Amino acid sequence: MEAFAKKFHKKIIPIFFLFLAVFVSGCITLGGGPGIQYKNDVITVEDYVITETNPIPGSTTTIKFLLRNNGDREVPRAVVDFYDTKGLKTSVNCKNENQLNDHSCQYTKIASFDDRTFEITFTIPNKEEIDVRGATTFNINYKIEYDYQGSRRITIPVIDDTRLKEPRTKYQTGQPSVGPIVAEFDPPVGRTTKKDSQVIKEYWGVRNSPFEIKVSFKNVGTTTVGQIKPVNISAGKATLKLTGLHTDSQRRCDFSGTSGTISSKFDITVPDNLVCNFIADFNNVCPPTCEKTVAVDALFSYTYSIQRSETLQITVERVRTQ
């Protein structure tokens, strides 16, 4: 019995640590398949089906697909709106979600890697109601929009330059959050050197000296999901959480507030940037402490809108000539 227990222990422990390593990495592979991957295209259309692209007069045709959340956080709201149906009669099936009208549905709280079903049925007019003989083409336009948010952090060393020529630590920018809109930082330049023809910039702040940080917003989504409408980040929808620093009231700042969490004053259309000047809260006694680290956390929310279309070609029997 003791020998069996030792053998069992030797087998179980390696398996446990293998599972723990996989779990911590955030990527679990089951059945030999690929690991789960997040996508910056948070909402995608999957399992798209149209029952008949060439319907006949008096019939119906249905478009059905899934909205899938490929992000790492919940999508609080998503809307599918067939806003341009060329006058065709429609009805929608929102699968127990919120039906806004006869051509659009609203979905809420779509969890990561969850999906929702959308279904719309078009009623094709009878031959007597169609004026044009031959093939009649209807280009149906619709949009998919959803609310999402992103975040990113930067940490910056600040030195007392009467004691230190350069910081012991380097500035660091965290990984961008998952999503089609990302933030990038331009940190303060502490020193610029030139080696041969190459200009080298090093980044840090200086005690009692204001420094500027620029937050740039960019769209990294792909057009495979459809045509992307310009993304607006409304005033107040971009915030900066400040740790160890405050705004400089004598210089430019595109945010309201002085410390803690400050909010954007203006609407911007991506790609664009917001700028603010800061002063570090340097209360350390130098020496022995002549360096500190400050941090800025950017958090922003937006509505992402995708334009798509479908073509229906109705074939009407031609009039026989004598």
pLDDT at 12: 45
pLDDT at 274: 98
Residues 90/94/99/105 CA torsion (nearest 10 deg): -80
Q: What is the pLDDT of residues 193-212, one digit of tens each?
A: 877 778 888 899 999 999 99
CA–CA distance, 36 with 26 (Å, rounded to integer): 8
* Two structure tokens written together for 220: 């990294």
Q: What is the pLDDT of residues 275-322, one digit of tens each?
A: 999 999 988 778 888 999 999 999 999 999 999 999 999 877 644 444
Residues 136/46/178/216 CA torsion (nearest 10 deg): -10
For the chain, the domains span 43-147+307-315, 149-302
> Which parts of the chain have pLDDT scores under 50?
1-2, 4-5, 8, 10-33, 318-322
Three-state secondary structure readout of 218-274: EECCCHHHCEECCCEECCCCEEEEEECEEECCCCCECEECCCCEEEECCCEECCEEE
DSSP 159: E
**The CATH classification of domain 43-147+307-315, taken from the options 2.60.40.2910, 3.30.43.10, 3.40.50.300, 3.40.120.10:** 2.60.40.2910
Contact 97, 88 (CB under 8 A): no
Contact 42, 69 (CB under 8 A): yes
